[in-house]
């Protein structure tokens, strides 16, 4: 594939990217295999972030590629509106078997953003279906990311994702985030302090009347806002407060689902069962877009009463349960089962923790956090230059053959779950060298 022409560079408005900066010094990926990307100059780069937290089985897994090739030659497209194709039902059944507890009804989407908005809509509509239309409030958290749909940006707490767009959903409130670098710096796994942040939900209930609250949505581990594992006991307490007040609990498991925490889902890892679970990314190993919302059986049943003539939930996408996506997801589930990706993750996570925390002595390192194969190294910023250090470290790592991701002051690391110890050791050493290089070169290098 030829490098893009200047006109082609202009034409593509890249998502979540400083377009002008990128286009002055563009970098292109032209291939991938296993743990590595191939760059346009032929160099190999270790993918330290599994694409965008999605390629859990490694790139171009042969079983997933084969399933896609076979599917495109059999059935390219069929809708699931008033018609169906078998793979969507088979996939739903397999996912239901795989999911925690009774989260055994599955609604298909095409992305994490769609899964989040779908879950919010199911929550609102379920209360109405029960005759409890007074429950309209949605509670998210500060420092949360739930995709870019209007529902998702309303419940998420990132100012710059919201404030360009005017008024968003009505009746949204936010819990504080749980990040507490003073008490919890360099914690391994769940931080010890901060369970009391969950009590802010009681405070919101006191202010608003809990009978007006439909649902609370949280990422079990906040991902894009800097990898923030929940304090010990926090999710359990949220669950208890929700139960006390008849509020639905939604987990956004777009990142944490499908093995990344060393269990199938964060719900399994933390022993807390939500009412709805939004997923995407790892569902197809990133090979093709797909999302899925897992719904408790009793909630789904609330929509299945009364006359059979009408539409039960007025929502869906042209590509809900697309045949190609179903083929990729079925193959991905098979890979999970045959290769025990969650088990591989659990087995190597302590080593990942050790190599990341070994960076603690570097002068620029302010904090290290991790759980499963999700990790973050937070840096102290260059004075008056927010984000510049982390971006420089990201750039230097790429020059040295390692892809990591700068998120504010934090370097996020989330390799495919099939990463080896040697690769993790190499990743940490490249990161260490990059930290030192950037320290020596300064903010204007």
Distance CA 343, CA 73 (A): 34
Q: Could you say whether residue 111 binds ligand PMP (CB under 6 A)?
A: yes
User: Half-sphere exposure of 172 toward its Cβ, with a 13 Å CA cutoff?
Assistant: 19
Q: Which of 80, 104, 113, 178 is close enough to bind ligand PMP by CB under 6 A?
A: 113
Q: Could you say whether residue 252 binds ligand PMP (CB under 6 A)?
A: yes
Residue in the shown chain whose Cβ atom is closest to ligand PMP: 112
Q: Could you say whether residue 118 binds ligand PMP (CB under 6 A)?
A: no
Q: Could you say whether residue 224 binds ligand PMP (CB under 6 A)?
A: yes
Q: Could you say whether residue 112 binds ligand PMP (CB under 6 A)?
A: yes
Residue closer to ligand PMP, measured from CB, 150 or 441? 150
Dihedral (CA of 128, 239, 205, 277) sign:
negative
| Closest separation in Å from C-beta 438 to ligand PMP | 25
- Which residues ranging from 45 to 74 are in contact with ligand PMP (CB under 6 A)? 52
Residue closer to ligand PMP, measured from CB, 49 or 213? 49
Task: Please report which helix (H) or strand (E) contains residue 248, including its range.
Answer: strand 248-252
Near ligand PMP by CB under 6 A, which window of 28-36, 109-117, 404-412, 413-421? 109-117
- How much of the chain is helix, strand and coil, in % rounded to 5? 40, 15, 40
Residue of 304, 266, 318, 375 whose CA lies nearest to 48: 375
Distance CA 107, CA 300 (A): 10
3 state SS for 93-109: HHHHHHCCCCCCEEEEE
Q: Could you say whether residue 147 binds ligand PMP (CB under 6 A)?
A: yes
- Size of residue set near ligand PMP by CB under 6 A: 15
Near ligand PMP by CB under 6 A, which window of 110-118, 119-127, 165-173, 192-200? 110-118
CA distances (Å), origin 286, targets 47, 50, 76, 125, 258: 13, 9, 19, 30, 12
Q: Could you say whether residue 141 binds ligand PMP (CB under 6 A)?
A: no
| Closest separation in Å from C-beta 280 to ligand PMP | 5
Give residues in contact with ligand PMP (CB under 6 A): 52, 111-113, 116, 145-147, 219, 223-224, 252, 254-255, 280
């Amino acid at each position: 594939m030829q490098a893009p022409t200047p006109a082609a560079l202009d034409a593509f408005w890249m998502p979540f990217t400083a377009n002008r900066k990128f286009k002055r010094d563009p970098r292109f990926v032209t291939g991938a295999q296993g743990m590595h990307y191939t760059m346009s100059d032929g160099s190999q780069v270790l993918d330290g972030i599994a694409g965008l937290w999605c390629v859990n089985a490694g790139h171009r897994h042969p079983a997933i590629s084969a399933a896609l090739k076979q599917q495109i030659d059999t059935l390219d497209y069929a809708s699931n509106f008033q018609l169906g194709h078998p793979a969507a039902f088979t996939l739903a059944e397999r996912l239901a078997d795989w999911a925690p507890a009774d989260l055994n009804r599955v609604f298909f989407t095409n992305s994490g953003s769609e899964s989040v908005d779908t879950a919010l809509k199911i929550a609102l509509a379920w209360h109405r279906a029960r005759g409890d239309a007074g429950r309209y409030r949605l509670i998210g958290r500060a420092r949360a990311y739930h995709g870019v749909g209007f529902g998702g940006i309303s419940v998420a707490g990132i100012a710059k994702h919201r404030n360009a767009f005017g008024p968003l959903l009505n009746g949204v409130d936010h819990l504080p985030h749980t990040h507490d670098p003073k008490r919890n710096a360099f914690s391994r796994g769940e931080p010890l302090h901060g369970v009391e942040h969950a009590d802010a939900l009681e405070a919101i209930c006191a202010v608003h009347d809990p009978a007006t609250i439909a649902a609370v949505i949280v990422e079990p581990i906040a991902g894009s806002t800097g990898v923030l594992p929940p304090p010990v006991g926090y999710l359990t307490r949220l669950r208890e407060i929700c139960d006390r007040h008849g509020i639905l609990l939604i987990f956004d498991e777009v990142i944490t689902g499908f093995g990344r925490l060393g269990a199938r889902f964060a719900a399994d890892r933390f022993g807390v069962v939500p009412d709805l679970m939004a997923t995407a990314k790892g569902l197809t190993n990133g090979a093709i877009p797909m999302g899925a919302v897992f719904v408790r059986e009793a909630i789904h049943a609330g929509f299945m009463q009364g006359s059979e003539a009408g539409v039960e939930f007025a929502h869906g996408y042209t590509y809900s349960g697309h045949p190609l996506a179903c083929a990729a997801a079925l193959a991905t589930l098979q890979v999970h089962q045959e290769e025990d990706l969650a088990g591989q993750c659990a087995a190597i996570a302590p080593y990942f923790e050790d190599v990341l925390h070994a960076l603690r002595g570097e002068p620029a390192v302010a904090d290290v956090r991790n759980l499963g194969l999700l990790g973050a190294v937070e840096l102290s910023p260059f004075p008056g230059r927010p984000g510049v250090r982390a971006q420089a470290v990201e750039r230097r790592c790429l020059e040295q053959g390692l892809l990591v991701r700068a998120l504010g002051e934090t370097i996020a690391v989330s390799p495919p779950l099939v990463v080896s110890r040697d690769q993790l050791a190499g990743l940490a050493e490249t990161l260490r060298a990059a930290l030192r290089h950037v320290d020596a070169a300064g903010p204007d290098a």
